[in-house]
């Protein structure tokens, strides 16, 4: 079986484009979204401004990382960043967006791009990327360590926005 190598630059740009579309839907949706009053949430929801500003800042940071990877000559750096963000986008589509839509039984911000763009695209890319790693362990270590950094980045951004607003 012949396995064609992914064009990492092409998929980094596509991932960034889908991420931006998703964040536009999330920002617009969150501006008009209200949490149901009859549901007790285990967390204090962010304000609209706090959430939208966090989304904008994260989008800029992620594009900076994608452009850094895009201009790298080292294909492994491109591959690893693409793998981390592809898994991150898949996780992001399922956990907050689709799970919240099911739980709340109504539209939640960014569920459309999660279902229509993120899931099919990331499953395709992850499947292709997984085969580009020499060992499964290498793929999982790369993705898990990258996901920890992404989660910390998101939490830090939201915390800083909560201090401002």
Q: Dump pLDDT digits (tens) for 144-157.
A: 999 999 999 989 98
69, 146 contact by CB (below 8 A): no
How confident is the model over 16-29, as a mean pLDDT?
A: 96
Q: pLDDT tens-digit profile of 56-78? A: 999 999 999 999 999 999 999 99
Tell whether 75 is covered by a domain: yes
- The structure's pTM equals 0.89
Q: What average pLDDT does the segment 132-147 reach?
A: 93
pLDDT bracket for residue 1 (50, 70, 90)? very low
Count of domains forming the chain: 1
User: What's the domain range around 58?
Assistant: 8-34+43-164
pLDDT at 39: 75
Q: Is residue 73 part of a domain?
A: yes
Measured CA to CA in angstroms, residue 145 lies from 48, 71, 112 at distances of: 30, 22, 28
The answer to whether residue 1 sits within a structural domain is: no
Residues 6 or more apart whose CB falls under 8 angstroms from that of 25 comprise 109, 110, 112, 113
Q: Per-residue pLDDT for 42 more than 90?
A: no
**pLDDT, position 163:** 86
Which of 78-82, 117-121, 161-165 has the weakest average pLDDT?
A: 161-165
Asked, for residue 2, whether it belongs to a domain, the answer is no
- Compute CA 51 distance to the chain's CA centroid, rounded to the nearest angstrom: 15
CB 23 within 8 A of CB 59: yes
Comparing 2 with 21, the larger pLDDT belongs to 21
Q: How does the average pLDDT of the chain come out, rounded? A: 91
Q: Is residue 3 part of a domain?
A: no
Check residue 47 and give its pLDDT.
Answer: 82
Long-range CB pairs of 130-136, under 8 A, 24+ apart, other chains included: 131/3, 132/5, 132/6, 132/79, 133/79, 133/83
Better-predicted residue by pLDDT, 46 or 71:
71
Model confidence at 4, pLDDT cuts 50, 70, 90, reads low
Q: If 0-12 CB within 10 Å is exposed, 13-18 middle and 19+ buried, where does residue 92 land?
A: buried
């Amino acid at each position: 079986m012949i396995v064609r190598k992914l064009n990492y630059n092409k998929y980094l740009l596509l991932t960034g484009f889908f991420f931006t579309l998703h964040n536009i839907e999330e920002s617009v949706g969150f501006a008009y979204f209200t949490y149901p009053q009859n549901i007790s949430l285990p967390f204090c929801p962010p304000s609209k401004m706090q959430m939208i500003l966090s989304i904008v800042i994260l989008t800029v940071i992620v594009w900076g990382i994608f452009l850094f990877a895009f201009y790298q000559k080292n294909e492994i750096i491109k591959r690893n960043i693409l793998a981390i963000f592809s898994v991150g986008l898949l996780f992001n589509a399922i956990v907050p967006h689709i799970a919240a839509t099911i739980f709340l039984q109504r539209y939640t911000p960014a569920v459309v791009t999660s279902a229509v763009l993120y899931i099919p695209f990331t499953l395709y890319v992850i499947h292709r990327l997984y085969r580009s790693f020499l060992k499964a362990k290498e793929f999982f270590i790369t993705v898990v360590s990258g996901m920890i950094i992404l989660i910390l980045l998101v939490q830090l951004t939201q915390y800083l926005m909560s201090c401002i607003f």
